[in-house]
Structure 1
Amino acid sequence: MDNTLTAANLCLQRGQRWVIDDVSLTLNGGELVALIGPNGAGKSTLLRLLSGYLSADAGACQLEGRALGQWPAETLSRRRAVMLQQTQLRFDWSVVAIVAMGRAPWGSQRETGIVRDVLALTGCDELAQRRYATLSGGEQQRVQLARCLAQLWRDSAPEGWLFLDEPTSALDLYHQQQLLRLLKKLTVSGKLHVCVVLHDLNLAALWADRILLLHEGRLVAQGLPQQVIKTPVIAQWYGAEVQVSTHPGSGAPHVFLCA
């Protein structure tokens, strides 16, 4: 199987503005890739284009050697899952029911056991019987991650492409750490491939295999964390005064704001 997702010359226009401007990239299987960039850079829009939620005005995306538009909807839903920034639900279901929604593309194949396994894997088992609407923002993010993993679950583990838009934005430090540790662990198997939008540069540097930096809709830097998270790069594209040092435990780049 061709475990790559390629984008060639993607463009998307809104009004007079190019929200995505001639972006080409390749995502490889078994990677955790972080999309970073200042506000309005086009990160969320690019994520939607790569996952097939939006269609480009120009350019093309291919998933595993096949154009995104050529995938039947149900088949694509079994190969990729998307967690958006906000998921509004108009019904007050339990957490178990929300996670079970992820199995919709599969019918009822071993739904109960899979949901139980995913709840345990994500630490959401303690929330299982609560109503989704009563959860905090961070708890809802964790449940939405569980739903996405259930959607991709195949033969005792998630398999396919997982796209996440700021999944740590409402999480406390412990749950940020646990979520990214879990994603990293799952990608090491080579069966799960993750593309995640992150605002926290230090989280991206610590956990991502590769980083893609967007600015005003263009891909302006990409590579290993050590190649992208550098003082001149961050200062140029974020316009902030920063100093980049080294994480004392991992050796990853670590960004400090100048006072």
Structure 2
Amino acid sequence: MSDCLQAANLGYSPVLRNISLTLAPGELVALIGPNGAGKSTLLRALTGYLPPDSGTCSLKGKTLAEWSPQALSRHRAVMRQQTQLGFDWPVEDVVAMGRAPWEQTGSHRIVREVMALTGCLPLSGRKYNALSGGEQQRVQLARVLAQLWVDDAPQGWLFLDEPTSALDLYHQQHLLRLLKKLTRAGQLHVCAVLHDLNLAALWADRLVLLHQGEIVAQGNARQVLQAQTLSRWYGAEVRIGEHPDASAPQVFLAP
């Protein structure tokens, strides 16, 4: 498990308690749970931005505190739910920020490649602060992929906090299809906070359900998205159906 990111008995009072989790390359994990469950806090603790009060979080056998900031930035990237910039840079310059931990040789090619992959090329030349919320999310996705880009593909651990929250249906589908394709290549792990359980069911390899700072269920979509489980932890009356074109459960609110 030396090539994994591992949390052992992670705690951050009063939000997180006794979190143990292993994140391996080639996997897309969705963190789900009701409001206030601790999903964003856990994301920050797993990335090293929030030092835990107890327990450890290690990457490739070293605790996150043992990594230099530059070395850690070459292995994990973080896309926050909202990113406001204090400067009005063109889109391609914002994406290029992701290349900061690396030598700049070839960076222009990588920026263009990643912008094409994420559908951001039509935004070239526009000022970031003038973009819509959804357009900004797409640019931030391009930035974090550029940060992990090595030998024509992203490698490492990518953490996303509600990456679909401002996207329309087309761009939600495009983003999750892209992330699934990139993780299947085996060199990238994606851990994303998702509120839409149906999106999580369609694309995540594993769902981790949090409630009041603890993991209360985890597994594939069929194991976690059960009516009794969701009603207990979300407090909502739900019905579980089947997607018409995929072997995945879908969640419906009871009328």
Where 1:237 maps in the other structure, the secondary structure is helix
- Name 1:175's counterpart in structure 2: 171
2:159 paired residue number: 163
Query: 1:78 pairs with 74, 81, 89, which one?
Result: 74
Q: How far did 1:94 drift?
A: 0.3
Q: CA deviation at 1:110?
A: 0.8
What is the root-mean-square deviation of aligned Cα atoms in Å?
Answer: 0.8
Q: CA deviation at 1:251?
A: 1.6
Give, in angstroms, the shift of residue 28 of structure 1: 1.5
Name the structure 2 match of 1:223: 219
SS of aligned partner of 1:7: strand
Distance in 2 (CA, whole Å) between partners of 1:53 and 1:107 is 24
Q: TM-score, normalised by structure 2?
A: 0.99
The count of corresponding residues between Structure 1 and Structure 2 is 255
Aligned to 1:94: 90
Match of residue 251 from structure 1: 247
Deviates most, 74-83 or 59-68: 59-68
The residue type paired with residue 248 of structure 1 is P
129, 145, 162: which is aligned to 2:125? 129
Aligned-partner Cα distance in 2 for 1:64–1:26: 11
Residue 2 (1) aligns with residue 2 (2): yes
Task: Please state if 1:112 is matched with 2:94.
Answer: no
Read off the aligned partner of 1:69 and give its amino acid letter: A
Q: Partners in 1 of 2:17 and 2:242 — Cα distance?
A: 33
Counterpart of 1:90 in 2: which secondary structure? coil
Runs of 4+, deviation exceeding 4 Å: none
Is 2:31 aligned against 1:44?
no
Distance 2:234 2:60 in 1: 33
TM (norm. structure 1) is: 0.97
The amino acid of 1:65's aligned partner reads G
The CA distance in 1 between the partners of 2:219 and 2:99, in whole Å, is: 35
Q: CA deviation at 1:252?
A: 0.3
Report the residue type matching 2:199 in the other structure. L
Q: Deviations over 1:122-172 (max 9, x none)?
A: 010000111001100000000000000000010011111000000000000
* Aligned counterparts of 1:160 and 1:143: Cα–Cα separation in 2: 19
Instruction: Trace 1:5-20 onto structure 2 (pairs within 5 A).
Output: 5-13=5-13, 18-20=14-16
* 1:31 alignment counterpart: 27
Q: Distance in 1 between matches of 2:39 and 2:240?
A: 22
Shifted more, 62-71 versus 236-245: the winner is 62-71
Match of 1:187 in 2: 183
Give the secondary-structure state (helix, strand or coil) at the position aligned to 1:213: strand
Quote how far apart the aligned CAs of 1:81 are. Answer: 0.2
1:177 Cα deviation after fit: 0.2
